[in-house]
Structure 1
Amino acid sequence: MTNPVFLNNVSHHDLKVIPSYSAELGDNVASVLAFPTEFVELQKEYPILIRKNSETKTFQATALLGFNKEENLYLDPTCRSGWAANYIPAAIAKGPFLIGMQSQDEGSSDAPVVHIDLDHPKVSEQDGYPLFLEHGGTSPYLERITSVLKVIHEGIATQDVMFSAFSELGLIEPVAIDIDLNNGEKRQLVGNYTINEEKLASLSGDKLEQLSKRGFLPLAYAVIASMTNIRKLIEIKNGRER
């Protein structure tokens, strides 16, 4: 169950948030949503896979964190933060915070505002970083979280247009990922898609230019480059099963 409420410095002045990552704090997930606004950073650490939403039939991206349910291979208690990577996906880094929409003046569109899930295991009144300064104003931690939420908000606004552009050019293709572990276990991840590198490279100059002008070309290459991180995940898993 969740209990999201509009965050304000009166009702929540004394709230804190635990900034670390662990299974006990709800971070043991095998994949999370990934947003175009973070693809360039994500591709340095994680495989970026494309999946089709079963309800809307639209594409969305995910960052792969593990091969089994509730398996996050980036969780590592020996690391200070509990996370063994330089960049943490925005969907994880946001912790108990989320974006809500608030009505503005009549005739104006709703504006995004910060909400917090009061029932989230990282929310505390004793431990963690404060959200507000003692004498008013937001804390540096909350300011950082606001920037993370901006990555998500702007990414949501971009993703449908980006995937439509990729689809129109025939760049999205199914991919089956074979996992061979040192213990002899074999499995295959199905239901995922990626960008076809050969088709991308064979596009005409004007189509490549169009993708580039819209900012989508480097994102397509980020998805392609990220697939090398599958081997990294396999190596982490093999190392933990010795």
Structure 2
Amino acid sequence: MTKHVLLNNINHQHTRVITQFSDKFGDNIASVMVYPTEFMELQKEYPILFRQNPDTEKFHATALLGLQQNENLFLDPITDSGWAARYIPANIVRGPFLIGFQRQQDNPDQQSAVVHIDLDHPRVNDQQGQPLFLEHGGNSAYLEYISKILNIVHQGSEVNDVMFAAFKQFDLIEPVNIEFELDNGQKHRLTGNYTINESKLKALSADQLLQLNKAGFLPLAFAVIFSMTNIRKLIEIKNRREKAFKVQTKDSQHKTR
């Protein structure tokens, strides 16, 4: 259930939001939708992949967080935040918040962006976490931070279709199947994903590269390509956790004997 309401400093003066990440807050997901406005940071931590809506044929980008369903390899209860990466995708950080639009009273034809909050979100309460407003009604530092995160989402949503149209114009999008084998011998295959064809990107003419660069999409295309090296990082994390789980299981069995 969700209960989205317009955020304000009267009704939500005492509202707090837990900022730690955990599976109990719904963070144990294998991928999350991401936006062009965060590609440069995402590439340092996660594989950036494309998915296509079969009904609309539109593309969107995702950050790969795990290698199987309901698995987020970046969740780590040892860290203060519960997330073991320097950059966390905006759609994860925003938690119970989203952008809405409100018509201006003095100009009904114009809409202004406003912040909404899901009061039924498991992070929202009035006891624990970060306050949204200061004692005398001003925005807290946390709410100012969330506003910046929502701006990343909003601007990224606006440029998303334009970026993919440019990539399709130069035939840069190609399907990619990710196959790997874990140290324990388990074989996995991830399908339904797309990436940037590096060979075709490098083969573009100077004018085409200039066109992509002027639009701001050339560095984003390279960011997607570079991010693919993070698949090896995910495999390494999963191998370590599989080994740790095996050791814990053996220790538990030994204690019960």
TM-score by length of 1: 0.98
Letter paired with 1:213:
K
How far did residue 224 of structure 1 move? 0.4
1:132 equivalent in structure 2: 133
Deviates most, 136-145 or 96-105 = 96-105
CA distance in 2, matches of 1:110, 1:183: 55
Q: Does 1:146 align with 2:147?
A: yes
CA distance in 2, matches of 1:175, 1:114: 37
Structure 1 or 2: more helix by fraction:
2
Letter paired with 2:114:
V
Aligned residues: 242
3-state SS of paired residue (1:62): strand
Letter paired with 1:146:
S
3-state SS of paired residue (2:109): coil
How far did residue 54 of structure 1 move? 2.7
CA distance in 1, matches of 2:152, 2:180: 31
Letter paired with 2:153:
I
Q: Does 1:238 align with 2:239?
A: yes
Letter paired with 1:207:
Q
Letter paired with 2:44:
K
CA distance in 2, matches of 1:56, 1:104: 32
3-state SS of paired residue (1:88): coil
How far did residue 107 of structure 1 move? 4.9
CA RMSD, 1 decimal: 0.9
State how 1:174-193 maps to structure 2 within 5 Å.
174-193=175-194
3-state SS of paired residue (1:162): helix
3-state SS of paired residue (2:10): coil
For residues 125-162 of structure 1, what are the alpha-carbon distances to aligned partners after superposition, in whole Å with 9 as ceiling and x for unaligned? 00000000001110000000000000000000001000
3-state SS of paired residue (2:20): coil
Letter paired with 2:8:
N
1:194 equivalent in structure 2: 195
2:17 equivalent in structure 1: 17
* Structure 1 stretches of at least 4 aligned residues deviating more than 3 Å after TM superposition: none
3-state SS of paired residue (1:110): strand
CA distance in 2, matches of 1:122, 1:27: 11
2:73 equivalent in structure 1: 73
Q: Does 1:3 align with 2:22?
A: no
State how 1:1-242 maps to structure 2 within 5 Å.
1-105=1-105, 106-242=107-243
Letter paired with 1:233:
L
CA distance in 2, matches of 1:118, 1:29: 22
3-state SS of paired residue (2:24): coil
CA distance in 2, matches of 1:182, 1:87: 28
How far did residue 108 of structure 1 move? 2.5
TM-score by length of 2: 0.92
3-state SS of paired residue (2:145): helix
- Structure 1: runs of 5+ lacking an equivalent: none
CA distance in 1, matches of 2:79, 2:73: 13
Letter paired with 2:160:
Q
Letter paired with 1:68:
Q
How far did residue 55 of structure 1 move? 2.9
CA distance in 1, matches of 2:60, 2:96: 22
How far did residue 111 of structure 1 move? 2.1
2:255 equivalent in structure 1: none
Letter paired with 2:175:
P
Letter paired with 1:22:
S
